[in-house]
Amino acid sequence: MSSIAIFGSYVLSRRDDTQDVLRDHWVLIEGKKVAAITKDRPSAAEVHDRPGRFILPGLMNLHNHCFSEAVARSHTEDGNGRRNNQSIVYTVLLPLTKRGADLLSAEERLAVARLGILQLLKGGATTVMEPFRNTIPEMFDAAEEMGIRFYGAPYLFSTSDAKAGSDGVVRYAGDDGAVDLATWNVLYQRWNGCGEGRIGLAMSPHATDTCGPDLLRACAARARELGVPITTHLAQSRAEVETIGKRYDGRTPAEYLDWLGLLAPDLLAAHCIASSDSDLKLMAVRGAAVLNCPRVFARSGVTAAFGRFAEHGVRTVVGTDGYNMDLLGELNAASMISKLALQRAEVASAPDLIEAVTATAAALVKRPDLGTIAPGATADLTVIDMTHPHLQPLFDPRRALIALGNRANIDQVIVNGRLLIDAGRYVHGDEAAITTAGAAAIGKIWDLPEAQAAFNG
């Protein structure tokens, strides 16, 4: 059995179910498990004894979009691509991602997927939940091959081609998601449990305004039959709130999901920025969770404050959505934006945010063996190099990590006891080759006339 010993100047452990930072301890990994946390140097086949390391449970990024992020990057900032100040999700990103997925070969889609997984790993994540078009199943291949823990969430739509009209309203017709549900089932059969258990699926109806009642009920029934999490986009714009209100007797998007039985502890709902206070209270009562992704909204001038959801008692975690997959950068933004929005410095504290992407996230996917460093826990670890000049001198490692850290400080990423990132580099492939191939494939999408019109018109 393989064994790895890592020295941590700081090790994030738990005592009485709260965080406890140990000074100068070793973490011993045997096989896929944490075997011990010791004061003395243990014997191990592989020893990493570097100064100033902060060993954390593997960070969990439960909402990200590798493919559409790559399509959008450096095109959509500063309001580019927007019309009438509308969100670009339905007008630009979904149509372009669909066209792009059809246009690229399987090898090119795999190249984009690899680039995305590389970013996620280098951003510090050991576990990700990635909602994506079901025409990009290569996301699973890349995740299996590259070693990350992956909840693939292939979308279901009530229409196969969700587009907003000039009024911003999404309309749909067709098979009401029957083909998407069949595709999801095929992918589940093919992938669930692969990669020595690292690969799983989440049920992924796209959003409240692109999925009708029958499809949402069918999704929930199937997910609960299999015991997989349900993830969706909820109240991500004012337009969505208006659309759902008009369609369903004045219900809010949260009330719509509650009416259909989806607002429950197995629901991970992205964004909720247009949720009312009473919606958030309802979510807290039902045990549903918010996936807070502050930077994609900040980019558009919209506030998505972790602290607002947390203060309503809603279980809240942090994901990168379509913003460069730097989970430490996202936590920093979650902290700053919460303090600005609530005008209080103590909200969204460093321990709160670290808890969100470790123990809370692990609880949401019902994996108590993740999100903690303890004997018997699964050996998913994120190790931060706290010796960088911008992190020194250092009094409190958690505050330093959230207030001052970013992806450049990621030293090691370990999943299932296997070292994937070491000294900040991916150790099982050529980063430059992965990056070049992914960028070339995305370039084909950027060359499409509709992309030119959307971004340069």
Residues that bind Zn ion (CB under 5 A): 270, 321
Closer Cβ to Zn ion, 23 or 73, answer by number:
73
- Under 8 Å between Cβ of 233 and 207: yes
Q: How far is CA 233 from CA 209, 254, 262, 271, 411, in A?
A: 9, 11, 12, 7, 32
Nearest approach, Cβ of residue 333 and Zn ion (Å): 16
Closer Cβ to Zn ion, 11 or 254, answer by number:
254
User: Residue 242: which residues within 8 A CB-CB, separation 6 or more?
Assistant: none
Nearest approach, Cβ of residue 89 and Zn ion (Å): 8
Closer Cβ to Zn ion, 138 or 321, answer by number:
321
How far from each other are the two terminal CA atoms of the chain, in whole angstroms? Answer: 58
Closer Cβ to Zn ion, 180 or 411, answer by number:
180
- Residue 233 and residue 329: Cα distance in Å, rounded? 22
Secondary structure class of 292 (helix, strand, coil): strand
Nearest approach, Cβ of residue 38 and Zn ion (Å): 41
Nearest approach, Cβ of residue 270 and Zn ion (Å): 5
Question: Which two structure tokens, joined as six digits, stand for 117?
Answer: 């997984």
The Cβ-side half-sphere exposure at 12, using a 13 Å CA radius, reads: 28
Closer Cβ to Zn ion, 9 or 76, answer by number:
76
3-15 and 46-48 strand pairing? parallel
Closer Cβ to Zn ion, 262 or 401, answer by number:
262
- Residue 234 and residue 336: Cα distance in Å, rounded? 23
Nearest approach, Cβ of residue 125 and Zn ion (Å): 15
Question: Which two structure tokens, joined as six digits, stand for 70?
Answer: 């790559």
Nearest approach, Cβ of residue 202 and Zn ion (Å): 12
Tell me the sheet residues that pair with 231. 268
Closer Cβ to Zn ion, 231 or 360, answer by number:
231
- Residue 30 and residue 212: Cα distance in Å, rounded? 48
- Under 8 Å between Cβ of 65 and 295: no
Nearest approach, Cβ of residue 324 and Zn ion (Å): 14
